[in-house]
Amino acid sequence: MASSYSEKPQEEEETFEDHIEDQPYVKPPPFDIRILTPDQRVELPQLQRTKEYWGKPIRHLAQMVRIHLIRDRAEFERRDVTQYEFDAACALDEIMYWVPPPQLAGTSISTLEL
């Protein structure tokens, strides 16, 4: 039967979302440079100072960081960078993960444990 305007509206059922309290925003801790290797500590300021990056969007810096990471990984694994890896680093479409090799097992830094 069709409802009319004079009928009292039915109350909505409570849902799980009605009982969720919003968490306040927690600012992440400042970047801890101690997680970087000594070579990476040297490269970071070099990347920031390089003139070819000035005036370009952050996207280019992200690409360069990823390219350096895949080159370092390939060098560590004693192989060449594949074209697929290079294209993936430039595309920024995928998240790149690096699984530490067994030689680094047990290495511990204050903010990172392998």
Q: Is residue 91 part of a domain?
A: yes
Q: Is residue 10 part of a domain?
A: no
Instruction: Give the pLDDT of residue 64.
Output: 83
Distance of CA 61 to the CA centre of its chain: 14
Q: Is residue 20 part of a domain?
A: no
Q: Yes or no: say if 85 and 70 are a contact pair by the CB < 8 Å rule.
A: yes
Q: How far apart, in whole angstroms, are the C-alpha atoms of residue 36 and residue 68?
A: 14
Q: Is residue 4 part of a domain?
A: no
Q: Is residue 75 part of a domain?
A: yes
Q: Nearest-CA neighbor of 70 among 83, 61, 59?
A: 83
The whole domain housing 46 covers 36-99
Render pLDDT for 54-93 as a digit per residue (tens, 0 to 9): 556 667 777 888 888 888 888 888 899 888 888 888 887 7
Q: Is residue 111 part of a domain?
A: no
Q: Is residue 89 part of a domain?
A: yes
Q: Is residue 72 part of a domain?
A: yes
Q: How far apart, in whole angstroms, are the C-alpha atoms of residue 107 and residue 114?
A: 6
Split into its structural domains, the chain has a count of 1
The mean pLDDT value of the chain amounts to 72
Q: Of all helices (H) and strands (E), which one includes residue 113?
A: strand 112-113
Is the pTM higher than 0.85? The answer reads: no
